[in-house]
Amino acid sequence: MNINSEKVTTPKQVTVNNIFIVGNEKTRKNIILREMDIEENMTYNWEEFVALVAADQKKIYNLQLFTTATVTPLFVGDEQVELLVSLKERWYILPSIIFNLADRNFSEWYSNQNRDFSRVNYGVKLDHNNIGGRNEKLRVIGQIGFTQAILLNYTIPYFDKNQLHGLAAKFNFYTNKNIPVRSIGNKQYFFRNPDEDILRKTLNASLTYSFRGSFYNFHYFTAGYHNTQIHEDVIIENPDYFTHDGKKLQYFLASYRYRHDNRDNVAYATQGTLLDASLTKYGLFGKDDINELEFSIMASTYKRLGDKSHFATGISGSAFFSDNQPYTLVRGIGYKPDFIRGYELNVIEGQQLIVHKNSLRYELFDVAYDISDFMPIDEFSVFPLKLYLSANFDHGYVRDANRLPQNAALTNKYLSGYGMGLDLIGMYDAVFRFEYSVNNMGTRGFFINVKAPL
């Protein structure tokens, strides 16, 4: 944010005459104005105006439609301003080749799965992140390899004139010849039969209605259908894979989710707050194969301690209201978003869990390289890089009501981990984390992860 106040005495209040938007070659103006508190022909006291300009700039950038977003007030009189919103759009149509690991994280693949390249997914993916300039998103995936999958996902953030109501539809179908059937020693145990048969087929379909009544608060109501079919060998390996007899698990589900997101950057926050809570009912009708209720929550806060340092802390947790769930619904530390540093190689499974993550971070550098001389596409002509040094401490607990002896080493016990790391943030807010961690069982190691930890 730049406030052009040279040779202008700070006024007590200002009136916004016009809002000009430049650089939105595809994105429609109303999508941008939806993120702004400031309105034309409105008068604001000076302190409020400065805060609103900074907040509106943050909200526009967090649309993740622009590589840069700058809101600049320009004085045209003692108490009269024009507002210039300068944008540089991202590349919205992103066809890409899928080549990624099927495991929970890189360390799981590297250590527990012995760097097995058969555990790689590959295929094609098409993302269109701004259809028609309305911030609609379309994702199409065709994948083979460890998991064979088809996915279709379409989201329209607003379908009404007042931009309050949205819809999202999702369909996916995938099959596996190698699946985790249980955990032993707090590690996933994978099984495949000698004939290389398909062991699991899963179909999911859902429709989500969203309501955004204010800038930072979102409500989501989802109705969905789930169907999983497994090979008989899976039942032999784990008779409790489902909580009922048979090789099929099908049910309808309904969920409500509330999200408050007031972070300065949704990909890697340094300031602000996040609250995400949901309640999901699995099994709505008498013929459904399951009757479960799950509550989950994630709450984080980010506080700047100076120009280059900030502190991030967050709590996440989930709870089922019964003691036995199908293995396809298993939760625990080690599954996203719940983890403790130093336990990346483990899964600690149970019905209730809580995790508290903490990071003290210091910015080592923040640069942007102009690569336009050899990059003809304008949307990729600037290559940004940020690097943070982080000191981390996490702790948590998993309650396993069944007290399975094969996993008793880590369940129903206080767990903690600490260490140092480097967080690299690149183009389009891609995050890579390189961390050395030690847990309270004395295990230590170097771990590579993607995405911000909280």
Domain locations in the chain? 13-89, 93-357
CATH topology of domain 13-89: Ubiquitin-like (UB roll) (3.10.20)
Q: In the prediction, which pLDDT does 30 show?
A: 94
Distance CA 363, CA 420 (A): 14
Q: How far apart are the first and last CA of the chain?
A: 26
Q: In the prediction, which pLDDT does 3 show?
A: 57
Residue type, 341: R
Which residues in the chain come in under a pLDDT of 70? 1-8
Beta-carbon contacts of 382 under 8 Å, excluding residues fewer than 6 positions away, are 67, 368, 369, 370, 371, 372
pLDDT digits (tens, 9 = 90+) for 77-90: 889 999 999 999 98
| Fold agreement (13-89, 93-357) | no
367: β partners: 385
Distance CA 398, CA 414 (A): 8
Q: In the prediction, which pLDDT does 5 show?
A: 46
3-state secondary structure of 205: strand
Q: What are the Cα distances from residue 218, in Å, to 77, 271, 295, 337?
A: 38, 19, 17, 20
Q: What is the per-residue DSSP string for 219-255?
A: EEEEEEEEEEEE-HHHHHH-TTSSSSSSSEEEEEEEE
What is the layout of strands, in order, in the sheet containing 13-22?
A: 43-45, 13-22, 80-89, 66-77
pTM of the predicted model as reported, rounded to 2 decimal places: 0.87
CA proximity to 362, closest of 312, 310, 324, 316: 310
pLDDT digits (tens, 9 = 90+) for 197-210: 999 999 999 999 99
Residue 291: CA atoms inside 13 Å, Cβ hemisphere, count? 3
DSSP H helices in 88-173: 106-107
CATH entry, 93-357, from 2.40.50.100, 2.40.160.50, 3.40.50.261, 1.10.1040.10: 2.40.160.50
